[in-house]
Structure formats: C-alpha cells, structure tokens
Amino acid sequence: MSDKDGNPLPGASIIEKGTTNGTETDFEGNFIISVKNDDAILVIQYLGFVKKEVSVKDKTILKIVLIEDAAALDEIVIVGYGSQKLTNVSGSIAKANIGELQDTPVSNFDQALVGKLAGVQVIQTTGEPGRELTIKVRGTGTITAGSEPLYVVDGVPIDSSGQATEIVNMEDVESIQILKDAASASIYGSRGGNGVVLITTKKGRQGKMKVSINQSIGFQVLSKKIDLMDAYEYARLSKDGHDAAYLQEVPTGNANDPNSIRPIGYHKIPEELFPYLEGVEGLTNTDWQDEIYRPAAIERYNISIRGGNENVNYFVSANHSNQEGIILNSDYSKTGIRANIGINAGKFKIGLNMSPSYTIENRVSANNPYFSDGIVQSALSYSPTWPVYNPDGGFNYDGNGFWRVGTDYQHNEIVNPVALAMLPKNEIEHYNLLTNLFLEYEVIEDLKVKSSFAVNYNQYQNEYYRPAILEERGRNNTGRPSNPTGRLSTTNIYNWIFENTINYKKSFGKHNFDILGGITAQKDRSKLQRINASVTSDTPVINAIQIINAEQLAIGSGSVQEWSLYSLLSRIQYDFDNKYLLSASLRGDASSRFGANNKWGYFPSVSAGWRIAQEDFLKDSEWISELKLRTSFGLTGNFQIGNYEQISLITDDTYITGNPGSRQTGLRPSQVANPDVSWEKTAMFNAGIDVSLFQNQLGFTFEYYNGNTTDLLLQVPVPQTTGFGTALQNIGEVNNTGIEALITFSPYLGAFQWNSSLNFSMNRNKVVALGPENTDIITTAGTGHAFFKTEVGQPIGNYFLLVQDGIFSTQEELDKYPHFESTAVGDFRFVDVDGDGELDVNKDRTIVGNYAPDFIFGFSNSFKYKGFDLNVALQGSYGGEILNLSRRYNANGEGNFNNTRDLLNRWQSEENPGDGNTNRANRKARGNNGRTSTWHVEDGSYLRLQNVSLGYALSSSTIEKFKLSKARLFVTGNNLFTWTNYTGYNPEVNLAGGGDQLTPGLDYGVYPLATTYSIGINLSF
C-alpha cells in the first residue's frame, strides 16, 4: 500500500467489511489478511487519505494506492467541551505529536513534553523519582496565587499536576493539547488563566481486538558530578583558612606557628589533618557523591486491548512501573488500570471511563540545605577525611561537630549523608480512582445533549520515622542517640463534577455553525488527619506506629476544607466556506473561594481567522498549501488561592492573666474578612499566522501575544487599629508579552521519512502595579541575606544583591577602592552601587538577575527507513540566572566545608593572586565574603540532548509466523548531555518548584537529574 508517489503507508487500517477481521500495514506498507471468500471487500483507511474499498475476488496480491483527501487532512483537535478541525482553529493551541512521544519510554507524560511545544516551558527542577515537572504556559501571571495550568483528562478537570501524571499512563494517551491564549482557555473561565492541558485517552475502535504489549528496562546514573576537592586538597585549604584567621588576629604570628601558641580554637589546625598535609598515602579519602548516588534500575510494563463493533467499543489497559532513585533509599512505583467503554444504542451513546491507580514512594530529604538534613548539600559539604562507617560497621558521626580543640568547635555540624539517606523512612502511598460516566442523546439530527458525572477520589497516606541511631545535627548531640520521632497522616480528597451540555452543529450551504451551551457544578472536600509523636532514646521502637502507640508524647492535628464551583458556559463557532472563521464564548463562574460581593465572574472571548489559501487567487497554488491569519482576545481567571481567604478566621493562642499571672489558652482573630476578594483576571490579545508550503512539506507558525493580569491578590498593610498588619486585596497588575515560532519540515523522500520540528518562545514579564503606593516586595529565601525584589517595571522575583567585582589582589587596590571596614587583601571587591564612596550591605544592593529565561527552544527530529526509526530531540534555554546558594558553603574558602576545586585557584598572596576572582581562604573572613552577592548568581543557559531513541520494526514476513502485527525493538537514552556554564547539578533547578513566584531559581541542594538508558520491545497482535 502506498500513496500516489509510491511512498509506503505504514499503520494503515485494513478491515474485512461486515466483520471484525482486520490488520495493519507494516513499515514497508505490506500487510497480510485472510478472508472468508472471494466476495470479501476490504475497507482501507489511513489518516489524511480518502477511505477506499477494494474487492478481493480471486486475487492473492493487491497493489493499493490511496489518494490524499483535503478534508481528511483537516486534523481534529480538542478545544474544551468539544472538538474542531485544526484548519478552522482561530485561537492558539499547541498539539503534541503523540506518535513521536510514545516512541520514548517515560515515567510520566509531562516528561515527554519537554522542549516539544512553543509557548510551553516544561521544567525539570528535580530528579526525584515520580515527581511531576513544572509546566508554565506563556510566563507567570500571578504573584501569590497558584501558577499551575488546569489539567483536563477526558473532559474532567484535575486541579493538581501530581494527580494528572499518576492518573494518566503515557501509552494510554490519544492526544495532548494545550490551550495557550485566553480565547481558547476562556471556556474554562476562572481556571484558565495559567493555560489548560487537555489530555484525551484512547477509546475503543471498530474492528478485531488488538492486543499491545510494551516493556522496557534500563538504568539511571547521575547526569553530572560536582568537581570537589579530595581529602589532601581539602586539608591544604583548611590549613590556609586557619592560618589566615590566626594571622589577621595575631599579626605578629607566623603560618608555621604550632597550635600550642595559637590562642583561639579556630586558629588551630586540626591534628587529624597533619598526616594529609605531610602527604601520607592511603588515608581516608571519601568521595561522598559516590557514596550517596548509585546506578538505579527502572522498568516499565504496559498491556492493552482495543476493539469493538458497531454497538460496543472498548479500550482496557494495565500498567506497572518501578523506578529506583539515584540517591540511596529513594524509589517510586506506580500501578494503574484503565477501562474506557463506549456503547452505541440508536440515538443514545453511553460511555464509562474508569482509571484506578496506586503509587508508593520512598522519599529522602534531598531538597534541603545541610542544616535541615539535606542529603545532597551535606554530601557536597562533608569533609572527605571522614569515613562512612566506623570499624564496628556503624555509621561514623565524627563530622557532626567536626574537630574539637579544647572547648572550641571549629566547624559547622553535618550529619553523615549516607546515614541521612538510609536510616529515616518517609513512605507516601497514593490511591486514586477517577470515574466518569456520560450519556449522550441525539434529540434531532445535528442536536445533541450530553450529561456526565465524574468522581475523583484521592487518598494519601504518609509514614515518617527517624530512628534513635541517627543523630540529631549539632555538636552537643555527637556520640549520643536521638529521640525517635514518627508521623502518620492521612488525607482524603473527594471531588465530584456534574456537567450538562447541549450542542447544535449544522451547515446551511457554505455557512457552518457549531453552538454549545452548558451548566456545570463541582464540589471538593478534603480531610487531613495527622499525628506526630516522639519517645525517649531508650524506647525500643522500629517504626512510626510503635512510636505513636508508646503514648509518651503525641500531638494530633487535623483539618477539613471544602470548595465548590457552579458554572454556565456557551460558545459559538462559525465559518463561511471554510475560509472566514469566527468563534465567541462566554463563561460565568460562581466560586465559594471568593467574597460575598464577587461570587460571580464572567469570562468572554472572541477569535477570528482568514484562510487566505482558500481564496480563488491562491486555491490552485502548487506551493502554498495553507495560509491562515488569526487573532483573538479573551478574559480568563485564576482561582488557585486558599479556600477561606475571604472570611474572618480565628486561631488558638495563649495569654497571661491574674495576679500572679498564669498562662491561659483562648481564641483570637487571625485573618480579617474581605467580602470583595475576587478573581485574578488575565486579558490576552493573540495574533498568529500559519503557513504550509509544498504540499505540507514545510510549515511555519508565528504568534504574538500580550497578556495583562489585573486584580492580583496581595497582602496590603492596613491600620494597626484594625488589629491586623495586612489584609488580602485585589490590587496588583502584571504583564506578559511574547512571541512564539514553530517550523516543521517533512519532505517527501520515498521510503525514507523525515520529520523535523523547531520551536522558539520568548516571554517578557513585567510588574505593572503593586497597590496604591506601588511598594516594592522584598523577600528572603535560603538565608537571611539572599534577597529577592519585585518592583514595578521589572519581572517578578528578581535577585536583589550586592555586586561582587573580583577580589582585591594587592594592598594598593584595596587602598584605592571603597570597601568594608574589615576587608583585607584577597577578599571580595564589591561595587559601590549608589556611588556615595561607602559600602553598605543594604544601600548597595541592586537587581542583578532573574530566573526567567530570555527565550527557550526545542528541536525534534524523526527519521524512518524501512523498519528503522530514529528520534533525536534537543531543548534548551538562554538568559536565565540561578542563585546558587550552595556556593556559600562549597566555594567560601573558609575550610569548614569541603569546597569545589575552583578554590585551587584562590588568592594566596600578592605574588600568587590566583584567577583574580576567587577569594582567599580564611576561617574567619570578615570582608562579607559569605554574604550573598553576584558571586552566587550564575548563568542558567543550557542546551540539552534530551532524547535519542533508535528502533527497529521486524517486517511482516518475519512476524506473521508468530501471529504478530507489530514487533519493534528499541534502545533509548534520556537526558544524555547538557552543555552549560552552570556549576551546579541542573541549570533548571528551582528549590521553590513552581510554588513561589517571589523567590524562584534557588539552588540550596536539590535532587539532581539522572541520565537514563533503556531497552524495550513493542508487540501487537
């Protein structure tokens, strides 16, 4: 089977008419089918081509040529509460190439979207197994509310990406579309402000039952290793640091002075370092990265059956995956089932979609700094002179207090990183059941009504246990067991949604109408129960349950929260002769989350398009296949705030009363009511052009958008006489403007198939208003002097820091340049930003960068020849900065933590100034070397080889003897290499994830990414 140019058509459907007997063509266009008799008729279907019926008669070999169908080429896209031909879409919708994505095994569907869609930034902030990625659609349009897009799975809104990734198995996906502009997303009203991700799973098809089996196994390794000092290099750094501290406080001293005459503990060189300084070989030299990271196994299994007849169709699948984490003792397992059943009974259509899933995850404390038991940061900071284990096999905790000289403790305390990974237990179980039942009735021709009722139930159970043998951090805890602690919690979330729509679709000559109306109601109830407990260190316990049952010290807490949403929606889509396009929609939402004076919000939109290629003067063009102009304007909202932000709240508190005074417990107001709290609203204008040339071999899409979000919810100061410091008000404004481009290339090369796609996105974020006085928002994160500033005229969440401008290499430089009073030669040189001739840690801070990139891009390539297929995908980002606070410890030169090997180029003397930008070693540096500055801000630009996949499909002549219709073997690699100047693990790192817009881009020790290698097989029969 081929097209008119002789190109094979793989995957074409062949069904014996009137039966369920069928098959598909292989990659060479060949197929084999056995029919009942010579009177059989074969029904041939292939996307984009005219359906064809072929009479078999007495033939045993058929040569079938299909003709392209202009109407069939009109690909259908989901637009929310309906579908539309892609050629008639006048809004902005990004559609994923599912066939290409499913050739690459991934744990969650969001991983397959990285770098694939213009205007959609999919960010891998952490490498924890099972964690969802952060998706941003056209920038950040909020400051304090949630910035996550709405996920809609088979028509059911899902409010958390974490739920969506666990509900949906990638092999079950039929299509993924993202509504980017307000005109497309406004049909979801108050939830469309951050974009909408529409996921449609596979349904049954008429024909013989088809069984598909997909299996892959592989392993993961750490993508990048930080270049740290070994024990001998570290000993030299530590000695230099102690010497510098001694000499700056005892100027008459000498670096060769013994410890016995050095007056203070931090002047003294720890005796444990002397053998290293003397070059004794064979000493302890622990690489803590090698100790906490491991090669980790990963496996995925999926089986599905699909089929049906004129009355009943079905798609049923089961999947299971196991993923070890590259950090010890972390893993993730997911098991899911999906059953999509459809029934056609005359004018009635009945559907049932059901997808139970279960996940279990063992988490480790990776995404924290060392002083919060962060494993990653602890491993980077821990001295390589300490062993992992003591001679008796127990964990070594000497680093928890470091070296002791008399009563002085010279170094900050860190707990053994391997013990931190292996000893605690943090297990999270998630049970989910999403069920959707719908009934559709065709009242008259072209008029249909539909009712659906969906229930989404989630239960999360968490057990946390920290044993006695794991020391608490702190020098006073060294050498003694801790008090075991435990936590048990259960969260139940019950969400139902009832939707009723009416749809009228009719053509009058060249006038085509699609009219939609609907009413929806949704309610969500969540209940949390938690108990925390601890026991004395000598209590014999081995898990959290035993701790809680010990009845020594237990504290219980709980909460119940509810929200509800009631909506009215309408939309009309019109086109004249498939040339002139018009669409308008209006949705009204009433939410329990907002004030009594603003319960209802209304979200209108309008879009228009002109398919110029359909005009008479271009219709017969041999090189212009499509030329469409489109524009849109609409309003969407954001209701991702707390459930009770609009009402007065009370909380318990204590007070002193009586004489003598005694402590009493009572209640006090904790939040002032505001009945005017309303939606954050985004008004967006979008304009685009779509061009397809040379029979769709070359395509271009270019878009411009301008989105303005008003009524941002901010905490605004109120008079103290109210009894409160601040109150929540709709008072801010932010703007996002950008351009997007997409280029596709699919040349006709006979048996060789080549498809390439290049996307480019640039967004500019700007704060327009911050209340009546436009007061700057200055916050800190990670440390008290890592400042972030949000101000009018700038993007959200800028780094607001001192500017480091090299080091003082000589005394002459120090004397000529403004500096802090305690600065010495070899310390940082800071810029006098305000130009007053004096340095001030507050007045000389300025905006020095932002996490948001200047632009992002992706480049995907797919090649097929005969049975071979090759997919190569790259993606990257340019212009964003990372605040690498790990450098506060791993590049500070104090010698109290291990440092990166960059410190080998440190200033050591005026004759040996190093690289001119790396400060001297000093255990007690006083020149603000440790204060957060541009020294800690790094370029986050990168180019990543995201995926390479090579597959081979066996020919039909080879597999027919095994009764198979498809057999494909493949090898694939994900996250293979990253080109970047960022010195940390991952240039996409963001400790806040997508949850805090005011403090983005922070790296203080985060679970690093893994490189994954897999082999697998796809079978169908």
Q: How many Cβ atoms from other residues are within 10 Å of residue 59's Cβ?
A: 10
Q: What are phi and psi of 536, to 5 degrees?
A: -70, 160
Show the tokens assigned to 902.
């960059």
Q: Which residues fall within 8 angstroms of residue 359, CB to CB, at 6 or more apart? A: 130, 166, 332, 333, 334, 335, 429, 430
Taking the model in full, what pTM does it have?
Answer: 0.91
Residue 350: partners with Cβ closer than 8 Å, 6 or more residues away: 342, 343, 437, 438, 439, 440
Q: What is the pLDDT of residues 649-689, one digit of tens each?
A: 888 888 887 777 788 888 888 888 889 999 999 999 999 99
Per-residue pLDDT for 407 more than 60?
no
One-letter amino acid identity for 797? G
Give the closest residue to 857 by CA, choosing from 760, 979, 743. 760
The predicted pLDDT at position 402 comes to: 64
Beta strand 698-717 pairing with 726-745? antiparallel
| pLDDT one-digit tens code per residue, 15-55 | 888 787 888 887 678 888 888 887 888 888 887 677 888 88
Q: What is the pLDDT of residue 245?
A: 92
Q: Which one-letter DSSP state was computed for residue 471?
A: P
Which stretches does DSSP call E strand in 256-327? 296-308, 312-324
Of the two residues 102 and 914, the one the predictor is more confident about is: 914
**927-956 residue pLDDT tens:** 899 899 999 999 999 999 999 999 999 988
CA distances from 44 to 21, 553, 957, 959 (A): 13, 72, 20, 22
- Cis peptide, bond prior to residue 717, ω within 30 of zero: no
pLDDT above 70: residue 71? no
In this predicted structure, the answer to whether residue 134 has a pLDDT above a threshold of 70 is: yes
Q: Work out the average pLDDT over 816-841.
A: 94
In the chain, what percentage of residues exceed pLDDT 70? 97
User: In the structure encoding, which two tokens stand for residue 1017, read together?
Assistant: 């097989």
Least confident of 4-8, 70-74, 90-94, 738-742: 70-74
Residue keyed to tokens 């958390």: 160
Tell me the domains of the chain and their CATH numbers. 1-68 (2.60.40.1120), 365-402+411-419 (no CATH)
Picking from 871, 870, 846, 847, the residue whose alpha carbon sits closest to that of residue 858 is 871
Q: What is the mean pLDDT of the chain?
A: 91
